[in-house]
Amino acid sequence: MNSKITNMGSIGYQLKSITILICMGLLAFWATFHSPFLYDDAHAIVENPYIKHLSDFQKSIGIENIFNRSVLLLTFAVNREIGGLDVFGYHLTNVLVHILTGVVWYFLVSELLLLEPSRYRLKRLPLICASIHLVNPLTVETVTYISSRSSGLATFFYLLAFYIFCRLVRPRKENLAWTGKLLCIAGISGFLFLGVGTKEIVVTFPLMAIVYIWLITPADERKSLKAKIGVLLLPLLIYFCYRYIEQGNIFSLKADPTSGETSRFLYFFSQIKVAVHYYLLKLFLPFNLNFEPDIRLLPDFIDGQLVCAGAILGVGAVMVFRHKSHVLQFAALWFFITLLPSSSFIPLKQIATEHRTYLPGLGFSLALGWLFLSTQSVRTLATGLLLAFLSLTFLLTVNRSLDYRSAIRLWQDTAEKSPNKALVHNNLATVYMESKMFEEAKEELAITLQLNPTQSDAYANLGHIHFQQEHWNEAIEEFNQAITLGSNKPDTYYFAGLAWNKQKAYGQAIPFLQKAVSMRSHNADYHFALGDALRQVGAFDEALREFRRTLAIKPEHPQAQNNIGVIFWNLQAYEKAEVEFKKALDIQQDLPEIHHNLAALHLKNNRYADAVPHLEQVLRLQPGNTTAQKLLDHAMSQMKKGPS
């Protein structure tokens, strides 16, 4: 028996297990490597100015800015530095994090076996648990939706820290040397720092550490744990104090206004219902998964499903803690304790979302693996059920991941499963708009407004559709309605301003564009549009300032450089105008307006030979430009006359 146990822990067996896990992870998510950016990826990655240049990361964000998920943003910045906005690198990173999480979980479960007196029957538990986690369909959202990397990466750091902790406190004949202890403590602290900088779900680490040392310590020795428990709670206390100093609150989120507006008690009881009727149910039966579940906040405390959930939790708790297995008890506590940051009394905008089960789901995999291996009397049946379960979840994971290959496909699937949720129909309309499917988008927006007549985003989207169709008045009307209903999106103001610009109503455009700039000052297009409107009304000083801000944000902006030249032309500073036009030409050679402006400047100064090449270039770019042809004919005729 001992030799078999040794073989299970041998390097050869571990390498085979790791190889199996890597292959499972890659095969399960192979189809997702080219899935597009989705939903929040737009502002978190694509439009995020703080991750565009890795060299500026420390200055613009700073790794120490953990409450803004600095570590997560650093990984996005590295992806962008290496591959730009090619989605492959982002997905590869997510899949690798998922696989590495499975590998670390394999080794951590090997340590958790110390909780069990009869460990031999659970010798295959590490591989089973890691496999269940890797092909769990509920992990698809975390792995494939790039912005959800926060859940996966934070879990990875959490597991690394916990594994080191288990190695630090494991029973041994001789005490660990001080250097070893210091290295372990440094490792735990470092990984927890990285975890908090990724997502704050790692704050439950001290609680799980207390659970672990309590379970691994014999009952008659637990009285001596008071000092250790105090030491483990100290980092949590320090963290809360630091969070209060930095954020002004311990249990609310600045970035999520819902956190301060929703009843904490109703949210907490809603989460009890969600934990049982959604999360646990989907972990056992991972069918009909939903990117945006239509689960509402409980209106009061009288709810049949809530009572049922409470009863299920009560019965489950009695069954688990009457059982002698510390592994099973640890698994149950892991699930519920690690779920606390997102499913307790801290209200979040979404009542339920599947990526929140990524860290708690490890506890489910541990409990389910234990259950499969504990049925010794029907071992053959249990083995068959395990293989069937893994095969089924693998296929469901692959199938679910295919929904993420297209934004339209994902939101169509979501709309079918949450037909009464206005947000879902609005988001489906948005992806239709991106594909120029305007009639389909209008249908979805009509459903959105039927479900929620005060949905400002729906009116803004109708404005965008009219803008694309060049219905300027209708666009302005819809944008104004969105603003009246409280839209705080800078794009709403920006496109409203552009719609006024299109009608040459520059004075009316300026207030909208100024508001857009004040809301998103790092957007070069906003500054350029405002500068152009100011130029048109003769506010040249203000226009110059906006064009220069445009170039400060985006130095390679030929139109801004060209318009600076136009302003100097209007001010009759022709030499300065020529310098600016040439700078614009250095940025981009194939813009006809730049060549036209230089040609006009040369003609004004009777430099016909200098004007001709630019006019010829205009005609190459715009063969039907009759004005350029007339000017070219005039320049050629003047050159033939010679100097007067």
Predicted confidence band at 161 (pLDDT cuts at 50, 70, 90)?
very high
Averaged over 519-523, what is the pLDDT? 91
- How does DSSP classify residue 176? P
Whole-number pLDDT of residue 4: 45
CA–CA distance, 609 with 521 (Å, rounded to integer) = 43
Residue type present at position 308: C
Query: Which tens digits make up the pLDDT trace of 441-481?
Result: 999 999 999 999 999 999 999 999 999 999 999 999 999 99
- How does DSSP classify residue 279? I
Q: Using alpha carbons, select from 360, 331, 374, 373 the residue that is nearest to residue 112.
A: 331
Q: Provide the percentage of residues in the chain whose pLDDT is more than 90.
A: 65
Averaged over 540-545, what is the pLDDT? 94
Whole-number pLDDT of residue 26: 96
**Which position has the token pair 């040459």?**
504
Averaged over 183-203, what is the pLDDT? 94
Residues 6+ apart with CB under 8 A from 413: 291, 403
Averaged over 417-443, what is the pLDDT? 95
Whole-number pLDDT of residue 255: 57
Predicted confidence band at 382 (pLDDT cuts at 50, 70, 90)?
confident
Instruction: Show contacts of 179-187: CB within 8 Å, 24+ apart.
Output: 187/160, 187/161
Whole-number pLDDT of residue 641: 73
Map 33-68 to HEC letters.
Answer: CCCCCCCCHHHHHHCCHHHCCHHHHHHHCCCCCHHH
Distances (CA, A) of 638 to 89, 273, 630: 59, 86, 12
CA–CA distance, 449 with 442 (Å, rounded to integer) = 10
Whole-number pLDDT of residue 65: 85
Distances (CA, A) of 415 to 32, 283, 408, 479, 552: 21, 22, 10, 25, 42
Query: Which tens digits make up the pLDDT trace of 295-324?
Result: 988 888 788 888 998 999 999 999 988 888
Distances (CA, A) of 183 to 165, 188, 234, 446: 11, 9, 19, 60
Query: Which tens digits make up the pLDDT trace of 233-261?
Result: 998 898 888 888 877 777 766 655 555 57
Does the pLDDT of residue 201 top 80, yes or no?
yes
The answer to whether residues 615 and 599 touch, using CB atoms and an 8 Å cutoff, is yes
CA–CA distance, 9 with 403 (Å, rounded to integer) = 39
Query: Which tens digits make up the pLDDT trace of 67-95?
Result: 889 999 999 999 999 999 999 999 999 99
Residues 6+ apart with CB under 8 A from 609: 639
Residues 6+ apart with CB under 8 A from 118: none
Query: Which tens digits make up the pLDDT trace of 341-374?
Result: 988 878 888 899 999 999 999 999 999 999 988 8
Mean pLDDT, the chain, rounded, equals 90
Whole-number pLDDT of residue 150: 95
- Within 13 Å and on the Cβ side, how many CA atoms surround 2? 0
CA–CA distance, 509 with 391 (Å, rounded to integer) = 59
Q: Provide the percentage of residues in the chain whose pLDDT is more than 70.
A: 96
Averaged over 257-278, what is the pLDDT? 82
CA–CA distance, 187 with 179 (Å, rounded to integer) = 12
Does pTM surpass 0.85?
A: yes
Query: Which tens digits make up the pLDDT trace of 562-602?
Result: 999 999 999 999 899 999 999 999 999 988 999 898 988 88
Predicted confidence band at 264 (pLDDT cuts at 50, 70, 90)?
confident
Backbone angles phi, psi at 618, to 5 degrees: -60, -45
**Least confident among 19-23, 217-221, 257-261, 282-286:** 257-261
CA–CA distance, 445 with 423 (Å, rounded to integer) = 10
CA–CA distance, 447 with 76 (Å, rounded to integer) = 35
Averaged over 266-288, what is the pLDDT? 92
The answer to whether residues 295 and 278 touch, using CB atoms and an 8 Å cutoff, is yes
Averaged over 123-139, what is the pLDDT? 95
Does the pLDDT of residue 2 top 80, yes or no?
no
Predicted confidence band at 137 (pLDDT cuts at 50, 70, 90)?
very high
Q: Which two tokens stand for residue 449?
A: 């407004």
DSSP per-residue codes, 280-326: IHHHHS--S--SS---PPPSSS--HHHHHHHHHHHHHHHHHHHS--H
Whole-number pLDDT of residue 373: 87
Q: Which two tokens stand for residue 193?
A: 């720092």
CA–CA distance, 451 with 294 (Å, rounded to integer) = 13
Does the pLDDT of residue 22 top 80, yes or no?
yes
Does the pLDDT of residue 273 top 80, yes or no?
yes
The answer to whether residues 123 and 370 touch, using CB atoms and an 8 Å cutoff, is no
Residue type present at position 330: F
Does the pLDDT of residue 5 top 60, yes or no?
no
* Dihedral in degrees, nearest 10, Cα atoms 314, 315, 321, 322: 140
Does the pLDDT of residue 329 top 90, yes or no?
yes
Averaged over 615-632, what is the pLDDT? 88
DSSP per-residue codes, 584-628: HHHH-S--HHHHHHHHHHHHHTT-HHHHHHHHHHHHHH-TT-HHH
